[in-house]
Amino acid sequence: MKYHIWTVGCQMNVADSRKLAAGLDRAGCVATDAPEDADLVVLNTCSVREHAEDRAIGQLGRLKKLRARGKDVRIAVMGCMVGPRDEDLRRRFPYVDAFARPQDFAPIMEVAGIDDTGGEFWPATFGEPDAPTAFVPVIHGCDKFCTYCIVPYRRGREKSRTIDDIRREVEHDCARGAREVTLLGQTVEAYGHDLPPGTWVGSGWREDGGGRPPDLADLMRAIHDVPGLERIRFLTSYPKDMTARIIDAVAELPKVCEHFNIPVQAGDDGVLARMRRGYTLAEYLEKFELVKARVPNAAMVTDVIVGFCGETDAEFRHTYELLERLRFDKVHVAAYSPRPGTIAHRTLPDDVPAEVKQERLQAIERLEARISFEINQRFLDSEQDVLVEHRREGRWSGRNRAGKLVHFEGDAEAGAIVRVRIDRATAWSLQGTALPAPVPA
Ligand code: SF4
C-alpha cells in the first residue's frame, strides 16, 4: 500500500507524522510524495489558527474530487482538528474514512488494514536513514488553558514520557544518523512533574520513589552522553515553568544550544490577564533577565498575538515597545483568530477590526525585520559551526548553535558540523563559505 501524509502546524505534528510513517513503513507500506498515487492519504491537521484549518479543508476538497474521478483512496484526518467528539466533522466530511486524535494512530492503522497490536514504541526514524535533526516529543498535552488556545482540548492533559523511554528513542535516532535532537512539548519545562520521584545514581536517573520527580534539566543530563549526539535543543517554553535549574543546565551542558523560545504573547498585563497566561509582564521579564544573566550569548525567540479581544492602541503599543526593548532574535507573530471551543470564543468579543489586526501584524513584522537584520550583522566575518542539513539549488544549508539558518558554498555533507566564515547577513539568514576541516594533530 502506498501512503501520503500531509502535515501542517507545530513540530509536535511533524513528529507525530514521522511516527505514523514509521509505523506504516514497518507494516510494509511505501511513502509517496504524490497524493494522487496513494492508496491512503492522511491529513495531519492544526487548529491553532483558522488559516491552518482552511488549508486542511482545501486538501479535503481536492481529495473528494480525486475520489469522484474514480480513484480508490482511503482518507484519514488526524491531529488537532479532531476533538473528543467528532460527530460534527463526520457530518461535514462524510467521505473521510477515519478521524484520529493527536497521537492516536489506531483508527488510521485500522482503515489501512494493519494489525497494530503491540506497536507501542515506534522509533520515529524507523525505515530509511533520516535527517541529521530529530524531533522527540517528551511531554504531551497542556494543562494551562490560555483562553485563546485549543491545544488542551485536543491534546489533553500534560503527560510526560519516562527518561528511559526518551533516551532509547534518542539513542535510536543517533544510531540512524541524527546529530541534533529537539525535545518537544507544548510547555516543555513542565516535563516530569507527573512522573514518579527518583534520584541520580552514577550518571543516570533512577525512578526509585525517593527524591523528587525529574525535570527537563535531569532529562538533558540523562541524554547528554548518547553516542553521536552533538546538539540538544528544546521547544516550546512556558515562562512560568522555566526554572533556574533548567537555565543552569543550558549554561553548563556543552551540547545544549544557547537558544530559548519563550513566548510572551503580549507586552501588557491587561491583555496577559485576558489571555490567562498565568504571569505578569514583570514575571516574564524576571525569567528573561535570568536567562540573559546565566547564558549571556543566548539567542532569544518569542511568539506574539496581536489583535486579541479588546486590545486597545495603548495595549498594542506596550507590546511593540517591549519587543523594541528586548530585541529578540526572532518573533513569531500572528493576528488573533477565535477558535471555537476555547474560553475566549465563549466569553470575549473578537472586537478588533480585521484591518487593525493587519496593521498591527505588519508593524511588528517591520520592527522584527529591522531588529533581526541588525542582530545578524554581528555575525559578519565570524566563524560559525553549522550542522549541515541539506543541499538545494547548489548550496548547503544548516543551522549554527543559535539556531540561525546558514547557507554556504564549499565542501560539506549532510550531518557534518562544518565551520563557515560568514560574509553576508540578512534578517532571515546568514551566508558564507565553508572553511577547510582542521587536520588532526
Ligand atoms: S501554554 Fe497556553 S498557548 Fe501554550 S499550548 Fe498550553 S494553552 Fe496553548
Rg (alpha carbons) of the chain, rounded to whole number = 22
Instruction: Give the range among 22-26, 140-144, 185-189, 312-316 with minimum mean pLDDT.
Output: 22-26
**Is residue 389 within 8 Å of 365, Cβ to Cβ?**
no
List Cβ neighbours of 223 (8 Å cut-off, separation of 6 or more).
Answer: 166, 167, 170, 181, 229, 232
Our answer on whether the CB atom of 237 is closer than 6 Å to any ligand 1 atom is no
Would you place residue 128 in the very low, low, confident or very high pLDDT band (cuts 50, 70, 90)? Answer: very low
Our answer on whether the CB atom of 142 is closer than 6 Å to any ligand 1 atom is yes
How high is the pLDDT of residue 126? 43
In whole angstroms, give the CA distance from residue 246 to residue 218. 9
Q: What is the pTM of this model?
A: 0.88
Query: Which triple of cell numbers denotes residue 142?
Result: 497542556
Q: Which range has highest mean pLDDT (39-48, 110-119, 149-158, 298-307)?
A: 298-307
Residue identifier of the C-alpha nearest atom 1 of ligand 1: 144
CATH number of 133-377: 3.80.30.20
Q: Is the peptide bond prior to 433 cis by the omega test (within 30 degrees of 0)?
A: no
Q: Give the number of other Cβ atoms within 10 Å of residue 376's Cβ.
A: 20
How high is the pLDDT of residue 127? 44
Distance (Å) from CA 152 to ligand 1 centroid: 7
Whether the pLDDT of residue 150 is over 60: the answer is yes
Q: Which of 13, 146, 275, 337 to mutate to test the pocket of ligand 1 (most atoms within 8 A of CB)?
A: 146
Looking at the CA of residue 149, tell me the nearest atom of ligand 1: 8
**Is residue 315 within 8 Å of 286, Cβ to Cβ?**
no
For 3, the enclosing helix (H) or strand (E) is strand 2-7
Q: Could you give the C-alpha distances from 436 to 110, 391, 418, 421, in angstroms and in order?
A: 52, 18, 9, 10
Give 213's strand partners.
none
Q: Give the number of other Cβ atoms within 10 Å of residue 284's Cβ.
A: 25
Distance (Å) from CA 312 to ligand 1 centroid: 23
The beta strand positions in 204-266, using DSSP E, are: 204-206, 231-235, 259-261
In whole angstroms, give the CA distance from residue 33 to residue 31. 7
In whole angstroms, give the CA distance from residue 21 to residue 131. 14
Whether the pLDDT of residue 14 is over 70: the answer is yes
Distance of alpha carbon 72 from the chain centroid: 34
Query: Which triple of cell numbers denotes residue 50?
Result: 483558522
pLDDT single digits (tens) 270-284: 999 999 999 999 999
Percent over 70 (pLDDT), the chain: 96
Domain assignments of the chain as residue spans, ordered by start: 2-111, 133-377, 383-434
Would you place residue 254 in the very low, low, confident or very high pLDDT band (cuts 50, 70, 90)? Answer: very high
Strand order in the sheet with 231-235: 133-137, 180-184, 231-235
**Is residue 148 within 8 Å of 344, Cβ to Cβ?**
yes
How high is the pLDDT of residue 85? 73
* DSSP secondary structure letter of residue 265: B
Query: Which triple of cell numbers denotes residue 315?
Result: 495595549
Whether the pLDDT of residue 99 is over 60: the answer is yes
Instruction: Give the range among 62-76, 80-94, 216-230, 321-335 with minimum mean pLDDT.
Output: 80-94
In whole angstroms, give the CA distance from residue 101 to residue 170. 25
Whether the pLDDT of residue 430 is over 90: the answer is yes
List Cβ neighbours of 115 (8 Å cut-off, separation of 6 or more).
Answer: 109
Would you place residue 121 in the very low, low, confident or very high pLDDT band (cuts 50, 70, 90)? Answer: very low
How long, in residues, is the chain? 441
How high is the pLDDT of residue 441? 60
For 387, the enclosing helix (H) or strand (E) is strand 383-392
Mean pLDDT of 83-112: 88
Looking at the CA of residue 277, tell me the nearest atom of ligand 1: 2
pLDDT single digits (tens) 357-404: 999 999 999 999 999 999 999 999 999 999 999 999 899 999 999 999
Mean pLDDT of 57-74: 91
Residue 418 φ then ψ, to 5°? -115, 140
CATH number of 2-111: 3.40.50.12160
By C-alpha distance, which of 75, 5, 76 is closest to 34?
5
pLDDT single digits (tens) 292-308: 999 999 999 999 999 99
How high is the pLDDT of residue 116? 66
Our answer on whether the CB atom of 342 is closer than 6 Å to any ligand 1 atom is no
How high is the pLDDT of residue 27? 87
pLDDT single digits (tens) 190-213: 999 999 999 888 878 888 888 899
Distance (Å) from CA 149 to ligand 1 centroid: 6
Our answer on whether the CB atom of 151 is closer than 6 Å to any ligand 1 atom is yes
Whether the pLDDT of residue 333 is over 70: the answer is yes
Average pLDDT, the chain: 92
Q: Which of 238, 262, 284 to mutate to test the pocket of ligand 1 (most atoms within 8 A of CB)?
A: 238
Q: Angle, to 10 degrees, between the axis of helix 281-294 and the axis of helix 313-326?
A: 10
Would you place residue 228 in the very low, low, confident or very high pLDDT band (cuts 50, 70, 90)? Answer: very high
DSSP codes, 305-351? EES-TT--HHHHHHHHHHHHHH--SEEEEEE----TTSHHHHHS---
Our answer on whether the CB atom of 422 is closer than 6 Å to any ligand 1 atom is no
How high is the pLDDT of residue 379? 97
State the pairing for strand pair 139-140/199-201.
unpaired
* DSSP secondary structure letter of residue 240: G
List Cβ neighbours of 189 (8 Å cut-off, separation of 6 or more).
Answer: 215, 216, 237, 238, 241, 242, 243, 246
Give 125's strand partners.
none
CATH number of 383-434: 2.40.50.140
Distance of alpha carbon 348 from the chain centroid: 28
Would you place residue 239 in the very low, low, confident or very high pLDDT band (cuts 50, 70, 90)? Answer: very high
pLDDT single digits (tens) 132-143: 999 999 999 999
